[in-house]
Amino acid sequence: MRYSFVTNEKVMFLLPFKRGGDMFNLMRSEGRFTEDRARFYVLQIVLGLGYLHQNNVIYSDLKPENILMGEDGYVCLCDFGNSKLMNGGSGSKPNAQPVEGGAADYIAPEMIDDDNYGTSVDWWGIGILTYEMIVGFPPFYTGNRRNTMMFK
């Protein structure tokens, strides 16, 4: 992060430009990764999530579109719009926002059930992302854009 700005309603982060694009486009162009390459990316993401969790932040929106790629091959999380501060470690009440696009493949069950949730939602996302990196598609992929079967 280069800078942050605060208003009465929002916190904004200025991140460095990442010329490598995002993980979504990389995964779509290459299909799937070797286990070693997936491990390389996943470990970086785990370190980032661990830092956020140590600072009582739940990221809660892990998906390939929110992972930026540097020219050097290292990744960076972006889009903290759905992130939550933990209430004394007890979890967070979710925003009542609809699940959009590709996020449905990565959303944890407790978020679908509208329960309080904690850092486990980020670890769920890591599992889904790791599976997709190695296999080439998410584990609960149904081919249905409405995702009704997946949510059941």
Where in the sequence numbering do the catalytic residues fall? Answer: 61
List the Cα angle 113/119/123 in 5-degree steps: 90
Q: Helix, strand, coil proportions of the chain in percent (round to 5)?
A: 40, 15, 45
**Rg for the chain, CA atoms, rounded:** 16
What span, in angstroms and rounded, lies between the C-alpha atoms of 12 and 116?
25
